[in-house]
Amino acid sequence: MKRFVREIVTVFMLGSVGCTDLIDMTPESDVTFYSYFNTEQDAEALLSTMEECLRSSAANQGHHGYYGWIADHVNETYAPYRELEQTMAMNWQSYYTTLNKADVIIDNARRFPNSVDIKPYVLQAYFAKGVTYFELARKWGEAPIRGEDHSDYSPLPKSSVHDVLEEATKYALLALDLPNFEELKDGNGSSRTVKQFAGKGAVCALLGHLYAWRATIENKPEYWAEAEKYCSMIIDGKAGNYVLANTPEDLCLNEMHRNGQETIWELYYEPNEVYGTGNIWGDADYIGFPVRTESNFLPNTNYYWAYSVEIYRSTVNKLFHKEDRRRNAYFWGTDADSLFVVYNKVSGKANAIAVEYDENGDRKVFTKYDNGNNCPVELEYFLSEGDSIIEGGGYATKDHERAYVIKHRYPYYVKRYDWESEPSFDCYDVNKVIWRLADIILLRAECRVHQNDRDGAIADLNRIRERAYGNRKFDYPCEDDIEKNLTADLQLAIFREREKELMFEDCRFYDAVRNGWGQYGYDYVRNELSPGIARLTDQDIEDGALYHEVGRLAFTNNELMKQNAYWKKKRQ
């Protein structure tokens, strides 16, 4: 799969087919360009180029992620964003690059000889366009729609939210002819193994989320039935083979890593090819010890950049019942009395240790977190040859507030210079999971609530709870629901379950907006999101406050472009 992430020789010509901004595209040089539509390898090159662009745009959460954080502390870098004080301008050029690359495939399919089965490539392009227009609609609301004549690069005005969502729906429905992921083949006839290539399950997940979004945003309750239909296709095995991980720990070790059985669509990354944290995004700013045990991330680190965002142990304990296994799979050392790091000079490995004491002050439990195996295990701790406790790395945590996030693991380190005392962190060696089966099951529960199918919604909710707790003691409504005032509001109970199950997966802002801002009762937007969002008026929301501010590049040489009403008023 290295071909997927590296430049392909024939593709350099395709880079001239439209630039990174909608209003700055230029036509291709016809004779030379058209000579690249001859073979299966040419089609694979086109697809790889489009997929790289799609990865860039689909991974870009923008500022919406900040609004949805469950955070007890946010440093001065991010706080202004959550208050809607910092500029929110986001450029959409990567989205239009993706659309352009998809159109190259669609428009030139007829140029390939009959010996090349171009249909699978066109269907992948339809999916890319469906996803991209959906993201444009969720992030900016109004956005330009490329006309049918893709050789016309004239300036375009923004289209309505409805029209952008219609465009997304049109292409998603066209992509439904894709086979199940297990049946996808590449140009050599080999099975595709990377779940960024869309199968029918990915298309159904897109349509499920798309129709659920439209049901609220466009006030079209009939779309809840459409959303449920596509969720059910996935859940009932009619769009591929997807299976829930056995336990939350299995979820973190395998499904959140790469190409798991539960994941439906994910963005492909490999180490040494992407630097930084963009491949997980959702909890990158939370992650430090024990996933990262370099010296800057010891448990007593208080540098603002080491933990940009913090969630406290008290908050974790309010969110997760002590018997909820997600609590210890997503967070580490929550019940610990002491945390420290042990460094082995022989192996060069650093392991995190948590200690709990009984009421007499005697050692009760030692938990070792081994970054080599990425698996916390219970053990009777002892120092082995070469081990030493890192100075300043341990302290009592009785009064310590911070919870340590371990949902995403597999840090990747490189030692570039001999003089470095320790390797440098590069990235997380994981794919970015966009949709997985648990998400779709809970989305169907939400769809069923809106259609007054209470029993069906509860069945879906309980299926996720059974995996979380390992038993049926917490079926809805349970004692915990009564304590949290969720027995009278099944829709809120499902939102709370999504909040826990999908924590750090970039869903919470969109979940809150989809559930509404008072039209249907509880105000999810102003009660659940960041402080700046909480102060918005109904008019602010109607004027586009929940969308990104249009970036300045969109206005270059385009007299037809306009800022949305909220951000225009805010900048005056």
Angle between helices 223-235 and 437-450 (to 10 degrees): 150
What is the tens place of the pLDDT at every residue in 445-503?
A: 999 999 999 999 999 999 999 999 999 999 999 999 999 999 989 999 999 999 999 99
Q: Which residues lie below 8 Å from residue 388, measured CB to CB, with a gap of 6+?
A: 342, 343, 344, 345
pLDDT given at position 419: 80
What is the tens place of the pLDDT at every residue in 211-258?
A: 999 999 999 999 999 999 999 999 999 999 999 999 999 999 999 999
pLDDT given at position 478: 95
Question: Taking a C-beta distance cutoff of 8 angstroms, is the pair 302, 320 a contact?
Answer: no
CATH of domain 2-62+90-243: 1.25.40.390
Neighbour tally for 81: CB within 10 Å: 20
Task: Tell me the sheet residues that pair with 331.
Answer: 405
The phi, psi pair for 367, rounded to 5°, reads -120, 125
Residue span(s) of the chain under CATH 1.25.40.390 come to: 2-62+90-243
Distance CA 402, CA 220 (A): 42
pLDDT given at position 282: 64
DSSP 316-380: HHHHS-TT-THHHHHEESTT-SEEEEEEETTT--EEEEEEEE-TTS-EEEEEEEETTTTEEEE--
Distance CA 494, CA 512 (A): 11
Distance CA 519, CA 217 (A): 11
Closest by Cα among 51, 61, 509 to 281: 61
pTM of the predicted structure, to 2 decimals: 0.90
What is the tens place of the pLDDT at every residue in 285-303?
A: 788 888 887 766 777 666 5
DSSP conformational letter for 509: H
Question: Taking a C-beta distance cutoff of 8 angstroms, is the pair 225, 296 a contact?
Answer: no
3-state secondary structure of 387: strand
3-state secondary structure of 130: helix
Distance CA 302, CA 73 (A): 12
Question: Taking a C-beta distance cutoff of 8 angstroms, is the pair 43, 116 a contact?
Answer: yes
| Chunked mean pLDDT (size 10), the chain, 572 residues | 39 37 36 72 94 90 88 88 80 94 95 95 98 97 89 88 98 98 95 96 98 97 98 98 96 92 94 62 76 73 68 94 95 82 67 76 66 46 54 51 88 80 81 96 98 98 98 96 92 97 95 88 94 94 94 90 92 76
Distance CA 572, CA 376 (A): 53
pLDDT given at position 300: 67
pLDDT given at position 440: 98
Distance CA 357, CA 367 (A): 12
pLDDT given at position 415: 78
Distance CA 337, CA 531 (A): 33
